[in-house]
Each structure stands twice: as structure tokens, then as C-alpha cells.
Amino acid sequence: MSENFIKIKHVHFKYKGSEKGLLDDLSLTIPKGETLLLTGASGSGKTTIIRLINGLIPHYYQGDLEGSISVAGYDIVKTELYELAGVVGTVFQNPRSQFFSVDTDGEIVFGPENIGMETGKIKERKQDIVSEMHIEKLMGRSLFELSGGEKQSIACASVAALLPEIILLDEPSSNLDQGAIGNLREVIKRWKAQGKTIIISEHRLWYLKDLVDRVIYMETGKIRHEWSGWEFAAMDSEKVRSLQMRPLKVSDILASDFAGSDIQTQEISDGVVLKDFYFSYNRKPYLIRKKKFQQNDEGLSLCIPKLTLPKNTVIGVIGHNGTGKSTFLKCVCGLEKDCHGIIETDGKEYKGKERLKICYMVMQDVNHQLFTDSVQGEVLLSMEEEDKERCDQILQSLGILEFKEKHPMALSGGQKQRVAIASAIAADAKLMLFDEPTSGLDFCHMEKVGGLLKSLADAGNTVLVATHDPELIELCCDYVLCIENGRVGYLRVVERS
């Protein structure tokens, strides 16, 4: 048992083209069968360790590497990547970019085919994995129509199909909701029971705390702390907070019933009123005239006859993956043409395309909404009339004035998000919508986003934020709006202890 399975000795690493070293004299040994959690702020070197073990460093991501790494008897530097395929398996963060096939069956057999396994054996293997992971109902489908959680299940299955002894997971829960994280937890538990060596890099800690044998806290390329599993599980929240980690315990805020008091929407006298928001993805084919969606239509993906949102507050939008949160956001800001809802605020009605003018959505992938070649240009593009002074003010208030001349794509993820927010402010959007702004962020960045959302609300905006992070709701939301099957489940006040 105490046999050292993975040995990393005095490793220094620096990515090609970057000035700062990412790993600084790092040594780490991992015995066979251990479940190890790597945590720490973004950029502390967690992902780099994962890449060292699966050989992507130095074979795919190049840089200056010193020191030695041996995994299951293979010297990583001298081993070709395909030789490691049956030894180390990796589940990546982003489910949409780790698929090679377009269908679920093809994806699971992809690995075994690559290593030249016999076809009869592959089929058997596939059957075993499918029944072991209970994903029978996902078979024979296109990967592009699966939800985030389902995609991650397929990713786990396709990694497991190679029967690797070592399984690496790089922030696997980033795009998952509570239910899907529960499934992921079960998968990890099963792997652990099978005696696999598991290494997880993760910010979300609550679902792992009683699964892991050892926890390593990274800081600027070094191991700063090390705890055994039980020490970690028993850690008090003060200490967790002081280390800038995400909480180990989260209240059941996202479970189906969030314990707060219902607010009667009639009570809100001055609010943003949403009326007649109906939408469906499976519209009946039409020949001549488009029929408007009605409240009584069957199979509506969104059905909100009337909803009053309290003004100048942060409202968390929760609900399971695929329950209509994103649809809700898209319909509110007028991106779904066929949804004819009306927004009423300050005694004015906004219909159709007018909605786009008072709403602004910051997307989950902000790369999609940055178009120009400088941060300043990005903000000016949103203004009706270019006003450089106001642009500077906005950038100043978000703390990104120093990047004014930089190309938005050269910034970090958090900075890009701020640029998108800056253009939202410049566009005078009163209703700001955020789609999962904190997925994959460490606690420090999450706190910053929370503060930012609050200050946006204080400045007179109404902020709707769709999220899977209970931590974020505790940080900044005044209300929680639960969407269930496209309908409003409840709107409740967040009561803080």
C-alpha cells in the first residue's frame, strides 16, 4: 500500500513564452490507491501538476522543465503520450471541448479503439462501463444535445473505458449543478472503491471533503499546506476562510427548498414587471403565420404570465441544469425573437427589440462578447455617443483603467468579465443578467464578483444572476428566484445569519 506510485521530484516548470515559473522546486509522492485533492487559488499550479502526471507537459504544452517525474514506473519525459493512454486517464474541466466524437457510443469506444483493442473486447468493455455507471439512457444520442452534467458523465465513462489505474480530474464540477455534482461524487466514490489512484484539482470542496485521503493546498507553485482527509473535513470555517478556500459546508440553499420566506409579488410596488413570457423550443411547424405562444400551450420551455422583480437588488436565479434558467435569461433580454414578453419598469413598457436596449447579459463564456481590439474600444462601442471621459470613469470604477489600451483577448478571465460589465454599464442597461459568472473561479475571485454585483445593484441596476454556486448566493444575493421546468417556483428573501 505504501508503494509510491507517482513520484515528482524537485520539479521546476515554466511555460514557453512566460516569464514567471509556475512550479518551484515541487516534490510530491502519491501512493497507490490514494485519493488526493489539490486546491488553491487560480494560477497556483494545480492544473500544471495534472498536466505533468498525464504527460501533456512536456509533450503537448512546452516549456522549461527540470526535475523528474515517474508515474507507475514510466519516466514521463521519456514516454510517448500514447503509451500512457491506458495508464493515466484525465477528465477535463470543459465538457464541450473534450469530445472527439459527435455521438455518445463513439465517444466511449474512442480510447480503446486508439490503443488497438480487439473489437469484441471493446464492445464488452463498453457494456460493462455503461451498466456500471448507469448511463444506458444516454446511449445512441448526439453529444451536442446533452446537458452539462450528462456530458460530464460521458466524459467519465470514456476515460474509465481505458481502465486506467490513475484518474485525474481537472476542475470537473465547474459547469455542473448540484444534482450532477452528486452523480460525479458517486462516480469518484466507485473509482475509489475499485482501488484507483485519483487526483482531483478543484475549487468546490464541499462534495469532496469526506472522500479524499489527503489534501494539498498550493500557493504560487509550491505546496503550502498538507492535511490528511479527516483533518481537512474537520477544519473550522474561520481557517477555511482565511486560506481563501471555498467553504466546506454549504447550506442547502440550492436544494429544491430554499428556506427563506416567500415574498408576495404584489407587495413590491416599484419593481421590474415581466409579463407574458412564453417560449418553447419545439414549436409546431407553421406554414403561413407564426402563432404566438400562449399560456395554455403544451410543452412550453418557459411559462411566466407575470413576475415582479424587486428593483435595485441582486436576484439569484437557481434551478437544475436544463430547467430553463438560460432560456429565462435569453427571453428576458429579448434574444429569443419568438418570445413576446413585455418588461415594465419606471412606468414604461418595453416590447420586442426594445428589451435589448435596457437589458445586458454577461455570458458564461465572455469570449463571445468581446469584439474590438482594445478595452476602450469595447466600452465605446456600447455607447450611443462616444464619450471617452465617461468610459474612463467606468473603467476606473471597475479597476481596469490600466488595461485601457490592451487587447481584450490578452486579459485574464476575470478581467474579461469586467470588460463585459463595463460595456453593460456604458450601454445604460438597467437590467443586468449574468449567466454563471463564477463557474470555475476560486474563492478570492468569487468574492470579487459578488462585491461587483452588489455595487451594480447599489448603483441602480437590477441584477439577475443564474448560478450553481451556493457560496455566491450567500455572498451577494438579496433574493432567490427558483425556476422549475420553465415556471417560477418561488421568489424568496435571502436571510443571512
Q: Which is nearer to another protein, 250 or 331 (CB)?
A: 331
Question: Cβ closer to another protein: 425 or 480?
Answer: 425
Q: What's the rounded Cα separation, in Å, for the pair 329 and 317?
A: 9
CA distance 278 to 56: 47
Shortest Cβ 234–another protein spacing (Å):
35
- Give whichever of 357 and 404 is closer to another protein, judged by the CB atom: 357
Which CB, 98 or 153, lies closer to another protein? 98
Closest CA to 43 of 23, 65, 17: 23
Q: Point out which residues bind another protein (CB under 8 A).
A: 54-56, 59-61, 80-86, 88-90, 92, 94, 96-103, 106, 109-119, 122-123, 126, 144, 158-159, 162, 330, 333, 335, 356-357, 359-361, 363, 365, 367-372, 381-382, 409, 423, 427
Q: How far is the CB of 70 from another protein (least distance, A)?
A: 18
| CB-CB neighbours of 141 under 10 Å | 14
Q: How far is the CB of 218 from another protein (least distance, A)?
A: 21
Minimal distance, residue 94 CB to another protein, in Å: 6
Assigned C-alpha cell, 16: 514557453
Smallest distance, another protein to C-beta of residue 489, A = 26
Whether the CB-CB separation of 480 and 473 falls below 8 Å is answered with yes
Q: Of 231 and 365, which has the nearer Cβ to another protein? A: 365
| Least distance CB 403 / another protein (angstroms) | 17
Is 131 exposed, middle or buried, given 0-12, 13-18 or 19+ CB atoms closer than 10 A?
A: exposed
- Residue 245 Cβ vs another protein, minimum distance, rounded to whole Å: 26
Across the beta sheet with 271-279, the strand order is 302-310, 271-279, 342-345, 348-350
Q: Output the smallest distance, CB 485 to another protein, in A.
A: 23
- CB of 246 or CB of 355, closer to another protein: 355
C-alpha cell at 73: 514506473
Nearer to another protein, 68 or 369 (CB): 369
Our CB check for another protein shows the closer of 90 and 415 to be 90
State which residue, 56 or 342, has the beta carbon closest to another protein.
56
Q: Which phi and psi (to 5°) does residue 96 adopt?
A: -80, -15
Q: At closest approach, how far in Å is the CB of 305 from another protein?
A: 25
